[in-house]
Amino acid sequence: MSKNDFYKKLEDVVRTGKAPYVIESGQGAYLTINGKKKLNFCSSHYLGFAEDQRLKTAVKKAVEKYGVGTGYRTLAGTHTLHLELEEAIAKFKGTEASVVFSSAYMANAAAIQTIIGKEDIVISDELNHASIIDAVRLSGVKNKFIYKHADTSDLEEKLKEAQKVQKAPKSDGEEPLILIVTDGVFSMDGDLAPLPGIVRLAEKYKALTMVDDAHGEGVLGKGGRGVVDHYGLVGKIDIEIGSLSKAFSVIGGFIAGNRTLIGYYNLKARQRLFSIAPTIPDTAASLEAIRILQKSDAAVKKLWENVNYVRNEFKKLGFDTGNSQTPITPVMLGSDEVAKEFSTRLFDEGVFATPIVFPMVAKGAARIRVIPSASQSRKDLDVGIKAFEKIGRQLGVIK
Ligand SMILES: *Cc1c(COP(=O)(O)O)cnc(C)c1O
């Protein structure tokens, strides 16, 4: 392809791309878009920390004391705040240690690429997050098995196949390693990975387990400790991934696990060696968010109160809200067109909730994914529910 044709091809794609909404406010109960207030009804700021005064104060103090930038961890970038944050995360998750990265995308890449080589084996849920899929690709592993979503019998079939592959030693003579990897919470439907079954099978087949809990931390388990705590499996998962960008409302990701594993990542993860560490304000804000949760589960309780209220009201109105076990509340609308029209009309009513359409979900399974947050009052939630009722009737989704 000539350079001209190449740019023409890109132009065709860019022309059809939709410009993003531009937010002119903080990410609280409401957003300001084009100068107008819209209920923030689909964000992952579960706990309302994005505008929390305690996080703001912690950031100001840390910036006054330490400035902004840090550095590369292995050179001169490991700051006492990083170590405090890693210790706080490990304590929160109930693991021996943790290591932070600039995002969960990075943490997933590091978690898999560092320990999995071409001749090892990865077994992955078919609906895993894009960052896991990319991380598996980055490792260059050839033996990939994809099991049916949340299906432990299919996982066992794949483990049996993996066991056969495992019989042939790698070129260095070692036995291939088997890694089972899954999202903890699946973000389109809000359902959970069947972790007890996965852990049982991993023990039977001597495989490592990895759980990406980006949507579970701050939300599930005791005081928001995540999906592993929710199932009472603390200490039973080898590799736990978390994001500091969802419930914690900052930026960053981490791997939590035993001391040996984290020690190995500290020495070997390319994402830690060759990419910058989180900045002072990011680290201070994340640390404060975790300290708040260590002290009190008030925000988590408020989140769930709000979620239960919205979901009950939606059900009473006759909406199909799927089978979510988390605050992710899909309002099922069928066709892409209905979902897009529904979202446009919500916007006109002062409610921001974007449509989820093909290829993010299957054809015919389009939806609006509502996520209430702890920052909202009953009155705020009623604004959203009333708008859903009005437009649901207009579009014939409910009677
Ligand atoms: C959002 C998300 C990520 C990416 O998190 P970042 O910290 O924004 O990179 C990774 N995994 C899952 C399951 C997610 O939902």
> How many whole angstroms from 165 Cα to the centroid of ligand 1?
31
Q: Where in the sequence numbering do the catalytic residues fall? A: 187, 215, 246
109 lines ligand 1 (CB under 6 A): no
CB 99 within 8 A of CB 266: yes
pLDDT digits (tens, 9 = 90+) for 282-313: 999 999 999 999 999 999 999 999 999 999 99
HSE (side-chain half, CA atoms, 13 Å) at 99: 27
Nearest CA to ligand 1 atom 1: 214
CATH T-level fold of 53-295: Aspartate Aminotransferase; domain 2 (3.40.640)
190 lines ligand 1 (CB under 6 A): no
> What's the pLDDT score for residue 389?
97
pLDDT digits (tens, 9 = 90+) for 11-42: 999 999 888 899 999 999 999 999 999 999 99
**pTM surpassing 0.85?**
yes
Least confident of 87-101, 149-163, 299-313, 351-365: 351-365
**Does residue 341 surpass a pLDDT of 90?**
yes
> Which atom belonging to ligand 1 lies closest to the Cα atom of 246?
1
Q: What is the dihedral of CA 104, 296, 29, 252, to 10 degrees?
A: -20
CATH T-level fold of 17-46+297-394: Aspartate Aminotransferase, domain 1 (3.90.1150)
> How many whole angstroms from 3 Cα to the centroid of ligand 1?
35
| CATH 3.90.1150.10 domain extents, the chain | 17-46+297-394
> How many whole angstroms from 393 Cα to the centroid of ligand 1?
35
253 lines ligand 1 (CB under 6 A): yes
| CATH 3.40.640.10 domain extents, the chain | 53-295
Nearest CA to ligand 1 atom 2: 214
